[in-house]
């Protein structure tokens, strides 16, 4: 788990950009405070910040490796963890290859030499890496199947730069002749979705390698992207009486994944909320580390904390538990810092408590496990029950359906039945664009007067829906498929990576394992959404693993009392000042945003999530564009062998 920075120069002058790379590396110090290094030849230049997790004394990067006769043919930087590296090393050793280190980085380089680009299909883990072949003059870069680790890139006349964080590329902008204009289409997508969808970033000329993709390029050439992982829910009928075998396969796959994710030469802990996902991971991790530490966070406000449930779970599975309570004052003070770490804003209120629990965990461990991905793979979001609740609308004649739609449109905001009518009279492709549904287009125009209909959410979702339709997925699987490509990559995994790495803490997500997905993708919809609950098959699989008080508990998510705080003394004044001081008049209709804040305070409407989306952008803009807000970032160092 580290920070990489790589450049392929167009004109054989890579060395002239060494100073720019060295200037960009400190922006990612938090990703790897244990060691730093650079290397270059005429064409390629690598920089690296290391967080040492495996083979602490060796496996330094940039890494050089080559076969006999050309011992330094390849140069590589790699961010992530390969959980099956031991098995791959044994296979490659059997084929006659020798290793100089005991880590997973070298395994990728040797594997690339032997299998070529198909090495990515052999890797079980989270990764983003770039390899330079000095013999063929080819750069090969890749990102893991689900997009757990980030990889940004930008191309100018000087060459192409890859980085784990966008801010490092921005630091190099002048040196490589990179424009830093904002992308209005990406801004509109962000406001509608609360995140910027891949492959966009809010800066027009900086993009992201998409999850499950590789890229190849030569000096002065174009970036050629190729998708190697195409996740799909290929449901196979479960034989009569065969449900238990499916449940057993889920439990076996998850137990194996957790065992692989526990591989480390440092201490591994686990996040533990009140939900089934993190509790399952912690319970399985306890089998491999009897002294496992678990961590949770919450708020003082009643109804917005899972601390008590998490403590009960910790006691039931027999682990030591550490709690961090976050105050409204701490919450507000941390927002600029968090926006800086994110690179692009993500308007998920749970980012802030996650930052504090990660900060607390880093005092005790260097690696934590967490339950991200379970909802997308196993059907955990309550919204996935919607196809069942809206099924009666499918029998309504089209003429009557149009009338019901018009009725829904004229009903007052917040009136009971309005949402049901509006959603039930629309096709899934129109009504569902992931778990974040902050603004419809009319609401969007209120704050973004320049918003374009052709840039609405369907520009992002339509190609994904087309694939799921062509593959014949059922409605629940289509929603999961959409979330895999949008919500999970844009929100869930961005905050998982950026916020934990902000604290030099490696987060591992055992649910997002390709062997776990291999089982999850076969579950029929009636074993995902069943008996009035979600994740039915997963719950059945975990009956002997998760304590009973958690097993059938409804999903709460990561509750934040944002609605109350923005209407009250806690955050209303901060929000008002943020809007007033922001220099974003060319982007937002600020009087309308202030009016929304007043409506929210007065109880006219609940604008909390919409306001939060705008406020996060304004803070981000104040840091990266206006240079008006100082996020007060401190470079911290930690014990290497914690």
Residue 639 has a pLDDT of: 87
630 annotated as ligand-binding: no
Does the bond joining 83 to the residue before it have cis omega, within 30 degrees of 0? no
pLDDT in tens, 458-499: 999 999 999 999 999 999 999 999 999 999 999 999 999 999
Asked which of 38-42, 292-296, 435-439, 571-575 is least confident by mean pLDDT, the reply is: 435-439
Answer whether residue 221 is part of any domain.
Answer: yes
- Catalytic residue, from 2, 27, 213, 616: name it: 2
Mean pLDDT for the stretch of residues 428-445 = 87
Count other Cβ atoms within 10 Å, centred on residue 398: 7
Tokens of 303: 């109804």
CB 605 within 8 A of CB 599: yes
- Asked whether the predicted pLDDT for residue 204 surpasses 80, the reply is yes
Pair 200, 275 in one domain:
no
415 strand-pairing partners:
none
Where residue 294 falls among pLDDT bands split at 50, 70, 90? very high
354 CB contacts (<8 Å, ≥6 apart)? 297, 495, 499, 500, 558
| 616: annotated active-site residue | no
Residue 604 has a pLDDT of: 93
Which secondary-structure segment (H or E) carries 467? helix 458-470
Instruction: Give the CB-side neighbour count of residue 13, counting CA atoms within 13 A.
Output: 11
174 annotated as ligand-binding: no
**Which class for 67: exposed (0-12), middle (13-18), buried (19 or more C-beta within 10 A)?**
middle
Where residue 307 falls among pLDDT bands split at 50, 70, 90? confident
Nearest to 220 by CA among 24, 42, 63, 65: 42
- Asked whether the predicted pLDDT for residue 555 surpasses 70, the reply is no
Answer whether residue 590 is part of any domain.
Answer: yes
CA distance 102 to 54: 8
Pair 423, 344 in one domain:
no
Task: Using the structure block, give the residue that is written with the tokens 């390969």.
Answer: 82
Supply the range of the domain harboring residue 354.
243-380+485-551
Pair 112, 58 in one domain:
yes
Pair 137, 176 in one domain:
yes
Pair 605, 546 in one domain:
no
Answer whether residue 466 is part of any domain.
Answer: no
Percent of the residues in the chain that have a pLDDT greater than 70, as a whole number? 98
pLDDT in tens, 383-395: 999 998 898 898 8
Pair 93, 211 in one domain:
yes
Helix (H, G, I), strand (E, B) or coil at 542: coil
CA distance 564 to 527: 37
Pair 153, 79 in one domain:
yes
Pair 58, 160 in one domain:
yes
CATH number at residue 515: 3.40.50.620
Residue 420 has a pLDDT of: 87
308 annotated as ligand-binding: no
Tokens of 518: 């291999």
Pair 16, 52 in one domain:
yes
Answer whether residue 633 is part of any domain.
Answer: no
Answer whether residue 637 is part of any domain.
Answer: no
> Structurally, how many domains does the chain consist of?
4
Pair 374, 395 in one domain:
no
- Asked whether the predicted pLDDT for residue 304 surpasses 70, the reply is no
Where residue 8 falls among pLDDT bands split at 50, 70, 90? very high
**Which class for 61: exposed (0-12), middle (13-18), buried (19 or more C-beta within 10 A)?**
buried
- Asked whether the predicted pLDDT for residue 203 surpasses 90, the reply is yes
pLDDT in tens, 503-515: 999 999 999 999 9
CA distance 340 to 336: 6
CB 535 within 8 A of CB 378: yes
CB 207 within 8 A of CB 152: yes
Tokens of 516: 């776990």
Beta strands (DSSP E) in 453-536 are: 506-508
């Amino acid at each position: 788990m580290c920070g990489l920075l790589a450049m392929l120069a167009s004109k054989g002058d890579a060395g002239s950009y060494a100073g720019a790379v060295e200037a960009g590396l400190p922006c990612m110090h938090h990703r790897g405070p244990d060691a730093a290094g650079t290397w270059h030849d005429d064409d390629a230049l690598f920089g690296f910040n290391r967080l040492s997790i495996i083979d602490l004394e060796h496996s330094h990067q940039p890494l050089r490796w080559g076969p006999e006769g050309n011992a330094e043919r390849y140069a590589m930087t790699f961010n992530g963890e390969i959980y099956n590296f031991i098995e791959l090393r044994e296979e490659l050793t059997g084929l006659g290859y020798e290793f100089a280190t005991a880590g997973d980085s070298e395994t990728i380089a040797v594997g690339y030499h032997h299998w070529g680009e198909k090495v990515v299909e052999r890797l079980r883990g989270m990764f983003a890496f770039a390899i330079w072949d000095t013999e063929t003059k080819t750069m090969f870069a890749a990102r893991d199947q689900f997009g757990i680790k980030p990889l940004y890139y930008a191309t100018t006349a000087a060459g192409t730069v890859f980085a784990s964080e966008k801010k490092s590329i921005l630091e190099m902008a002048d040196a490589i002749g990179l424009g830093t204009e904002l992308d209005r289409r990406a801004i509109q997508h962000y406001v509608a979705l609360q995140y910027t969808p891949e492959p966009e970033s809010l800066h027009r000329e900086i993009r992201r390698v998409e999850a499950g993709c590789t890229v190849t390029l030569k000096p002065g050439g174009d970036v050629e992207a190729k998708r190697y992982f195409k996740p799909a829910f290929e449901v196979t009928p479960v034989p009569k009486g065969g449900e238990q075998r499916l449940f057993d396969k889920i439990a076996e796959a998850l137990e194996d994944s957790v065992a692989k994710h526990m591989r480390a030469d440092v201490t591994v802990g686990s996040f533990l909320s009140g939900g089934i996902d993190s509790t399952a991971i912690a319970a399985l991790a306890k089998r491999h580390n009897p002294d496992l530490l678990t961590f949770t966070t919450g708020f003082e406000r009643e109804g917005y904390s899972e601390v008590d449930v998490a403590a009960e779970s910790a006691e039931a599975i027999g682990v030591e538990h550490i709690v961090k309570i976050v105050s409204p004052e701490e919450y507000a003070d941390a927002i600029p810092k968090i926006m800086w770490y994110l690179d692009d804003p993500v308007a998920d209120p749970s980012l802030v408590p996650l930052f504090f629990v990660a900060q607390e965990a880093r005092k005790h461990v260097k690696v934590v496990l967490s339950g991200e991905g379970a909802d997308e793979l196993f059907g955990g979001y309550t919204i996935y029950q919607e196809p069942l609740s809206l099924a009666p609308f499918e029998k309504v004649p089209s003429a009557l359906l149009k009338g019901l739609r018009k009725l829904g449109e004229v009903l007052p905001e917040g009136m009971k039945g309005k949402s049901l009518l509006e959603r039930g009279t629309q096709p899934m492709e129109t009504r569902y664009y992931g778990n974040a549904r902050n603004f419809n287009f009319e609401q969007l125009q209120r704050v973004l007067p320049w918003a374009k209909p052709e840039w609405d959410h369907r520009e992002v979702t339509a190609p994904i829906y087309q694939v799921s339709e062509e593959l014949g997925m059922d409605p629940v699987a289509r929603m999961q498929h959409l979330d895999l490509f949008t919500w999970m990559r844009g929100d869930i995994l961005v905050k998982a990576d950026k916020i934990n790495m902000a604290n030099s803490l490696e987060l591992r997500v055992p649910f997002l394992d390709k062997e776990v997905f291999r089982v999850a993708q076969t579950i029929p919809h009636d074993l995902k959404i069943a008996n009035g609950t979600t994740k039915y098959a997963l719950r059945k699989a975990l009956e002997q693993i998760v304590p009973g008080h958690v097993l059938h508990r409804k999903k709460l998510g990561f509750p934040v009392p944002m609605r109350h705080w923005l209407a009250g003394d806690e955050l209303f004044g901060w929000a008002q000042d943020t809007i007033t001081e922001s220099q974003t008049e060319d982007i937002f209709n600020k009087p309308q945003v202030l009016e929304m804040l007043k409506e929210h305070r007065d109880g006219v409407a609940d604008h909390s999530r919409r306001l939060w989306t705008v406020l996060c952008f304004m803070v981000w803009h104040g840091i990266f564009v206006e240079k008006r807000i100082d996020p007060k970032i401190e470079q911290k160092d930690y014990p290497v062998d914690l």
